[in-house]
């Protein structure tokens, strides 16, 4: 399966690929030649338990998905100006999982494209330009989506924030701006929502209106943050009062990842209904297919411009055959409920590590999207960035792949393929336990570094040898 040696692969990569590409574990990168279920295999046949690849949603190379793609590729793949059953059946299936208001589908090829189209729809529908985004969020690599991704703003030599973009604090109740434990969750939700209200007020007082508020319903790059109760309810109201619409970015957390619900916005109550939902990553289980789902009113505003929507590959028969197979497998294998049950178990066993390891500050998550926040001081909540980096590296040596994220890169993230099971959870947590025991013997890891002020407006230094996982 290996065509050239690993050292040649590295040499060719260095010679021919842009140096801007990041590599996981760059001091000792992995060469992956095969994937199956929740495992990835290197060129020597070593199996790695994959807790990084939420894209391989129903399991690496699921036979039903592979077969659907191969069969359709052997028949035809052409653009959507010809009638084809796959695109309409896929749209119908996706829409059947959404609240009834969300009834119109656009097909694109990536999460970035989906968010770019969502911004365009919002501008056209509202007639406004200003966008509210959350601190540390990532929404894509296009010019338009980098603008609204504080995760990528104000890095040394990187783009700076544009005037039409407004950054609200990340609603992190553990280590964010509002975290006082004497407040109830609802009160914290209110305090964070008031920040968005203030931005709306400022925008309107300058004679403008809001175009869109965009957020993940469960923030990934921010460090596996579940916004507190009431947050979205109040924020959606403020944004709509300011003339804007609400975009839920489900690129990472959609398709049942959070357990039971299809979509992460549904975790926040039946009354949370976005105007636009963007989908990506898991939709094709590794194949590039993504979508935007919106209301009839928003779609009609776009249509009234008279500018047709065309996207050469968006919704092609092969992509839609694959997306249909992914949706079928989620149902047939009951993966949403599975993610709910295994995720609860995973959180419980991670929680038990708190009693053994002072460094485990917080465990949070829903379904198979879990974060363990490491701190060197539980009272001060000092981020344990060096320890997190050590943990990621050592776990890889133990053949368990995890990543770290959050503004201080101190949150260990678990987002495995949805076929991950309780036995895998035991392996994951016993390996983490072993590595955290080692950490106790390495005092240098506790020396605190310069801590970010939890705002993207501070400069991030990524000195770690693994890279963040978006």
Nearest CB to ligand PMP, comparing residues 211 and 252: 252
The site for ligand PMP (CB under 6 A) is made up of 110-112, 115, 138-141, 216, 220, 249, 251-252, 280-281, 470
User: Residue 246's beta-bridge partner residues?
Assistant: 213
For residue 145, the minimal CB distance to ligand PMP (Å) is 7
For residue 153, the minimal CB distance to ligand PMP (Å) is 15
For residue 222, the minimal CB distance to ligand PMP (Å) is 10
- Buried b / exposed e along 328-340 (16+ C-beta atoms within 10 A): ebbeebebbebbb
Nearest CB to ligand PMP, comparing residues 60 and 139: 139
For residue 150, the minimal CB distance to ligand PMP (Å) is 12
No. of helices (H) and no. of strands (E), the chain: 12, 16
Both tokens of 22, joined, read: 């990041």
Nearest CB to ligand PMP, comparing residues 41 and 232: 232
Nearest CB to ligand PMP, comparing residues 281 and 347: 281
Beta pairing class for 165-168 and 130-134: parallel
For residue 316, the minimal CB distance to ligand PMP (Å) is 16
> Residue 45 region, left (φ>0) first, then alpha (ψ -120 to 50), else beta?
left
Please name the residue ranges forming H helices in 30-184.
63-73, 85-96, 111-126, 143-147
Nearest CB to ligand PMP, comparing residues 127 and 158: 158
For residue 469, the minimal CB distance to ligand PMP (Å) is 8
For residue 108, the minimal CB distance to ligand PMP (Å) is 9
For residue 344, the minimal CB distance to ligand PMP (Å) is 24
Nearest CB to ligand PMP, comparing residues 13 and 141: 141
Q: Running DSSP on this structure, what letter comes out for residue 49?
A: E
User: Residue 401's beta-bridge partner residues?
Assistant: 50
Other residues' Cβ atoms within 10 Å of the Cβ of residue 304: 10
Give the C-alpha distances (Å, rounded to integers) separating 94 from 236, 312, 397. Answer: 23, 21, 39
Beta pairing class for 382-383 and 369-377: antiparallel
User: Residue 27's beta-bridge partner residues?
Assistant: none
Residue 375 DSSP SS3: strand
Both tokens of 402, joined, read: 């995890």
Give me the phi and psi of 54, to 5 degrees please.
-70, -15
Nearest CB to ligand PMP, comparing residues 111 and 243: 111
Using alpha carbons, select from 98, 97, 95 the residue that is nearest to residue 106: 95
For residue 146, the minimal CB distance to ligand PMP (Å) is 10
Nearest CB to ligand PMP, comparing residues 125 and 139: 139
Nearest CB to ligand PMP, comparing residues 276 and 384: 276
The answer to whether 468 and 403 have CB atoms below 8 angstroms apart is yes
The answer to whether 436 and 359 have CB atoms below 8 angstroms apart is yes
- The residue whose Cβ lies closest to ligand PMP is 111
């Amino acid at each position: 399966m290996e065509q050239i040696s690993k050292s040649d692969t590295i040499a060719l990569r260095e010679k021919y690929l842009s140096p801007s590409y990041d590599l996981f574990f760059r001091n000792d990168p992995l060469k992956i030649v095969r994937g199956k279920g929740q495992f990835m295999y290197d060129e020597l046949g070593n199996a790695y338990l994959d807790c990084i690849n939420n894209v391989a949603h129903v399991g690496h190379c699921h036979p039903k998905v592979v077969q659907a793609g191969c069969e359709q590729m052997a028949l035809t793949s052409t653009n959507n100006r010809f009638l084809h059953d796959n695109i309409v059946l896929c749209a119908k299936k996706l829409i059947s999982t959404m609240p009834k208001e969300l009834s119109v589908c656009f097909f694109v090829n990536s999460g970035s494209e989906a968010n770019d189209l969502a911004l365009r729809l919002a501008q056209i529908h509202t007639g406004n330009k200003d966008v509210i985004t959350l601190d540390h969020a990532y929404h894509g690599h296009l010019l338009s989506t980098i603008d609204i991704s504080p995760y990528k703003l104000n890095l040394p030599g990187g783009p700076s924030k544009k005037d039409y973009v407004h950054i609200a604090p990340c609603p992190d109740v553990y280590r964010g701006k509002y975290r006082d434990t004497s407040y109830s969750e609802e009160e914290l939700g209110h305090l964070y929502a008031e920040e968005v209200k203030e931005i709306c007020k400022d925008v309107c007082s300058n004679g403008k209106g809001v175009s869109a508020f965009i957020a993940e319903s469960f923030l990934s790059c921010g460090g596996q943050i579940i916004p507190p109760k009431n947050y979205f309810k109040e924020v959606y109201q403020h944004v709509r009062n300011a003339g804007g619409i609400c975009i839920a970015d489900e690129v990472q957390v959609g398709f049942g990842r959070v357990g039971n619900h299809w979509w992460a916005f549904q975790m926040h109550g039946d009354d949370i209904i976005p105007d636009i939902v963007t989908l990506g990553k898991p939709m094709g289980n590794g194949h590039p297919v993504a979508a935007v789902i919106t209301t009839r009113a928003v779609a009609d505003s776009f249509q009234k411009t008279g500018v047709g929507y065309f996207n050469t590959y968006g919704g092609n028969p092969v992509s839609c055959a694959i997306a249909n197979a992914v949706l079928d497998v989620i149902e047939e294998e009951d993966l949403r409920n599975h993610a709910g049950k295994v995720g609860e178990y995973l959180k419980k066993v991670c929680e038990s590590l708190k009693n053994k390891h002072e460094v485990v500050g917080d465990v949070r998550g829903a379904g198979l999207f879990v974060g363990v926040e490491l701190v060197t001081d539980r009272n001060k909540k000092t981020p344990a960035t060096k320890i997190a980096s050590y943990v990621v590296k050592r776990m890889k040596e133990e053949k368990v792949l995890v990543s770290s994220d959050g503004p201080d890169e101190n949150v260990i993230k678990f987002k495995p393929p949805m076929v991950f099971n309780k036995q895998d959870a035991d392996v994951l947590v016993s390996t983490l336990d072993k590595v955290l025991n080692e950490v106790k013997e390495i005092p240098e890891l506790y020396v605190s570094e310069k801590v970010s002020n939890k705002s993207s407006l501070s400069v991030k230094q990524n000195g770690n040898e693994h890279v963040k996982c978006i």
